[in-house]
Amino acid sequence: MTRFSDERYDVIVVGAGPAGSSCAALLARGGLRVVLLDKAQFPREKICGDCINPKCWPLFELLGVAATLRAHNLHVLDSFRVTSSAGVELRGTIAWDDRSPFFSIKRSALDTLLLENASDSGVTIHEKTTVIDVWRNNSRDMVIRASGENGIFEVTSNIIVGADGRNSVIAKKLFQKVGVSQRQYGAHGSLQKERRVGVQWHSHHQPQSGSGVELFLFESGYCGIVNVGDQAANIAMVTTPDHALLGKQNFSRFLEETLYSNPAARERFSSLVPMGELSTAFPIHPRFHRGRKQGVFLVGDACQTVEPFTGEGVFFAMQGGALVAQRILGSHTHRASFFPGRVRRPFWANRLSSPLLSHRHTANALVSFASRFPSLIPLVVRGIIR
Ligand SMILES: Cc1cc2nc3c(=O)[nH]c(=O)nc-3n(C[C@H](O)[C@H](O)[C@H](O)COP(=O)(O)OP(=O)(O)OC[C@H]3O[C@@H](n4cnc5c(N)ncnc54)[C@H](O)[C@@H]3O)c2cc1C
């Protein structure tokens, strides 16, 4: 076994998504020795709708990446259109201020920027390094076993941040599972319809969508389409496991049975050929992990999965990373208070959106209701995108 590091780190962060990179950067800037481990090599893609909520901007400012992002020629999003499977359409505009727009960006670009920022902040980074185990040793240190390019190694610290996403190894190994178990659903069990899978791919730019977000409802789920820059469009869908599987086997039949079962979508988007692989997230709501362990923190998707429809996962990941960094630095220096603004929790509309959108009749009824009371729409949009 190769010992990767005999020197101690103050903090080991596992996972270099928005949660891990944000947390690691702030910890390093606060003077701690931090190592960040990720199994991927960046730039890497990540299943996502690629929509970034404007409330991320104070966090981008805090991290020092806002100016770089603004110089990125961002694809700003300013309107939306929702079409129910009954053909009822809801349209609206999205208000933002010039310095903090709602925008779309490929996660490969955003996450690489955040990782480089962590590196510039003094974090030691190891890509292509998969964490396979974690435990507390006899000296009360946390030990991480990982597999990297040079083989298996162990690294120790008395603080670990688990930012390793929805299938977090840190959460699985150290915390208790709660919530819905996958085993409750047999392959053809009665709850089959309740299971939801995320499917996402990039296709070529869709000029007819311009700077709008399009959402289509259909029998087995819903699908969002948004341009990401002027080269690509992101298509992110929530559907059943059977359809997700079909997507990988027979893409045109998959489209017929899902998105194109909504006639308006078929009419508007005649070609959504994937530019690469389809990504899937199964199930979209994995089991939560709860509990407390001294010196171990979970952030981002490792401790919560946020309904993707409203594009808030990245915000909650970065907010969680900043809050955990503040807490850790506070316990080291007794003075660390940098969190910008108030801590935000998911808006009620975000929490309700998943169950409502997942049931065709409720979703259609909601769109019909909202289309009759257009003055309500800006209020809901302001609550979600702010
Ligand atoms: C279909 C879908 C659409 C979505 N759309 C949006 C959207 O439009 N806007 C939005 O804001 N959010 C969206 N989300 C949610 C968003 O993608 C996540 O909330 C966000 O990526 C969470 O960030 P994170 O840093 O917690 O985890 P991640 O971004 O998942 O990063 C985790 C990192 O950990 C690494 N890792 C995992 N396991 C290990 C291991 N064992 N060892 C080492 N490294 C490991 C991974 O390689 C990865 O880099 C969507 C989610 C889905 C499923």
CATH of the domain at 258: 3.30.9
Domain count, the chain: 2
With respect to residue 166, please indicate whether it lies within any of the assigned structural domains.
yes
> Which of 4, 13, 46 has the most ligand 1 atoms within 8 A of CB, as the residue to mutate?
46
Query: pLDDT class for 288, splitting at 50, 70, 90?
Result: low
Query: pLDDT class for 136, splitting at 50, 70, 90?
Result: very high
Residues 148 and 173 placed together within one structural domain of the fold = yes
Q: In 269-286, which positions are buried (b, 16+ CB within 10 angstroms) versus exposed (e)?
A: beebeeeeebbbbbbbbb
With respect to residue 294, please indicate whether it lies within any of the assigned structural domains.
yes
Cα of 313 from ligand 1 centre, angstroms: 8
Residues 174 and 115 placed together within one structural domain of the fold = yes
Residues 23 and 111 placed together within one structural domain of the fold = yes
In tens, the pLDDT along 44-83 reads: 999 999 999 999 999 999 999 999 999 988 999 999 999 9
With respect to residue 25, please indicate whether it lies within any of the assigned structural domains.
yes
**159: domain CATH number?**
3.50.50.60
Q: Residue 236: is its pLDDT beyond 50?
A: yes
Residues 217 and 322 placed together within one structural domain of the fold = no
Query: pLDDT class for 103, splitting at 50, 70, 90?
Result: very high
Query: pLDDT class for 193, splitting at 50, 70, 90?
Result: very low
Residues 168 and 304 placed together within one structural domain of the fold = yes
Give the residue, by CA position, lying nearest to ligand 1 atom 44: 38
> Which of 13, 38, 104, 200 has the most ligand 1 atoms within 8 A of CB, as the residue to mutate?
38
- Specify the ligand 1 atom closest to the Cα of 164: 34
Top mean pLDDT of 5-9, 279-283, 309-313, 330-334 is at 279-283
In tens, the pLDDT along 108-119 reads: 999 999 999 999
Output the pLDDT for position 312: 84
Residues 167 and 20 placed together within one structural domain of the fold = yes
With respect to residue 60, please indicate whether it lies within any of the assigned structural domains.
no
Cα distance between residue 56 and residue 74, in whole Å: 14
* Ligand 1 pocket residues where CB is under 6 Å: 14-20, 37-40, 46-51, 130-131, 163-165, 169, 198, 200, 236, 281, 284, 300-302, 306, 308, 311-315, 317
Residues 129 and 23 placed together within one structural domain of the fold = yes
Residues 305 and 253 placed together within one structural domain of the fold = no
Report, as an integer, the average pLDDT of 257-263: 97
With respect to residue 380, please indicate whether it lies within any of the assigned structural domains.
yes
Report, as an integer, the average pLDDT of 337-343: 72
Query: pLDDT class for 189, splitting at 50, 70, 90?
Result: very low
Residues 266 and 228 placed together within one structural domain of the fold = yes
Q: What is the model's pTM?
A: 0.91
Residues 295 and 362 placed together within one structural domain of the fold = no
What is the residue-averaged pLDDT of the chain? 86
> Which range marks the domain in which residue 118 is found?
11-50+106-179+287-346
